Amino acid sequence: MIRIANGQGFWGDWLEAPVRLVEQGPIDYLALDYLAEITMSILQKQRQAEPNLGYARDFPPLVARISRRIRERGVKVVANAGGVNPVACAREVVRLAPGLKVAVVLGDDVFPRLDEFLSKGYELRDMDTGEPISTVRDRILSANAYIGAFPLAEALATGADVVIAGRSTDTALTLAPMVFRYGWTPEEYDKLAAGTIAGHIIECGAQSTGGNCQVDWQNIPNMADIGYPIIEADPDGSFAVTKHSVAGGRVNSHVVREQLLYELGDPKNYITPDCVADFTSIRLEDCGPDRVRVTGIRGGPRPPTLKLSISYTNGWKSIGTLVYSWPQALEKARAADRIVRERLGALGLRFDEIYTEYFGVNACHGAAAPPNPDPPEVQVRIGVRGGDRQAVDRFTRELIPLVLNGPPGATGFGEGRPVVREIVAYWSALVPREEITTRVEVVE
């Protein structure tokens, strides 16, 4: 049995979680999941501005902080913190934590190969709209293939203390130690599906130990020191979900079920680079305090294609807010929205979209929200987006004046004018698997 923990669910997750995982009890592997689709585009822009950036900058200092425990306890770290610059990330880890052996997995970044793919006849059509990528080719910021667990397992086989990847799948970070330690092959579909589902359960960190949980959330113990999840994996593919006993939080079948439904499409066909997992085959059993046993998982062959995560620029946006207080808070907020729209129209400004929300009334639940005709305060949130940056910038100068020349009782304007931001849109496409070749490099 091996113990695989996950200490980060996204870039920006709790910095103390990985430290507690290595200090509060035994683990063999520490997975750290930093990447989301939008993160890749942010990192690409950072690298364009500074060639030594393009990775999750929280990661190297974290490794340095826990390096003594890594050595003492033999913990191996597996992370996708490399973003679009895994080698630079590895060099920074080596600089801050000298003596650790670091391996990087390369080959997922296909941004320089897009024209090559097009010349081969791959249209790279958007998986949602069917449009060919040629419609946004000149605006693309990043393009990365999702890679699976086997390249990460190859990196672990080098004896590395720390394995750094770019755009691996979230689930691969957990599956890779199982592939490495148990020698699973690409044809052992059920075992690979089990490891994939194990990774899916813990990929969002404390979301599988009581965080963001709808069931009896008021009584989850000690959320200020919530424990992050640990998988206890057996060679046959069965596993248990648990946490360190001294940590807060809760692990039971209700919590695990909630996480299983996270970002789930067809439950019988959960597609990854390593296999296709059948979520309807999962069997859960509460088998002790903060312990859920998972068995029965079935899987199928991996797909012939790999998914590309592509980001591109798509205009500009700006979002501003004001708060109106009782009495007639909602009436004031609606009047403010009407005035802004009238003034934008009078200026002849046109946008792809103007969108308004009323926090405290219906922003989260829309029409399903219960009636609240006279709330004590309302935040009006107005956003615009469009291809004309100057028009978006002019919008930012129309909201704040309402503090003096609009409905009474406005507040919450301390930060001044809203900021104009570039919109980064997401494009997903498929490419034949054989086009993607990974390799492992060791940085010591």
pLDDT digits (tens, 9 = 90+) for 61-73: 999 999 999 999 9
Q: Across the chain, how many H-helices and E-strands are there?
A: 12, 19
Task: Please list the helix, strand and coil fractions of the chain in percent, rounded to the nearest 5, in that order.
Answer: 35, 25, 40
CB 233, CB 1: distance < 8 Å: yes
Please report, for the chain, the start and end positions of each structural domain, with discontinuous segments joined by +.
2-108+146-303, 312-427
CB 108, CB 43: distance < 8 Å: no
Burial class of residue 72 in the structure, from the number of CB atoms within 10 Å of its CB (0-12 exposed, 13-18 middle, 19+ buried): exposed
Beta bridge partners of 306: 431
What CATH number labels 312-427?
3.30.70
User: Which residues contact residue 439 at a Cβ distance below 8 angstroms, ignoring those fewer than 6 apart?
Assistant: 105, 106, 107
- pLDDT of 49 reads 84
Closest to 35 in 3D by CA, of 172, 211, 159: 172
Which stretches of the chain drop beneath a pLDDT of 50?
none
DSSP string, 241-266: EE--TTSBS---HHHHHHHHTTT-S-
Element (H, E) at 89: helix 86-96
DSSP string, 364-430: TTGGGSPP-SS-SEEEEEEEEEES-HHHHHHHHHHHTTHHHHSSS-EE--TT-SPPEEEEEEEEEEE
At CA 253, angle to CA 250 and CA 258, rounded to 5?
85
- pLDDT of 37 reads 76
b/e map of 259-279 (b: 16 or more CB within 10 Å)? bbeeeeeeeeebbbbbbbbbb
- pLDDT of 353 reads 97
Q: CA-to-CA distance for 359 and 381, rounded, in angstroms?
A: 8
List, for residues 291-325, the tens digit of each pLDDT value.
999 999 999 999 999 999 998 999 999 999 999 99
At CA 80, angle to CA 74 and CA 81, rounded to 5?
90
List, for residues 332-389, the tens digit of each pLDDT value.
999 999 999 999 999 999 999 999 999 999 999 999 999 998 999 999 999 999 999 9
Q: CA-to-CA distance for 279 and 273, rounded, in angstroms?
A: 16
Name the pTM for this structure. Answer: 0.94
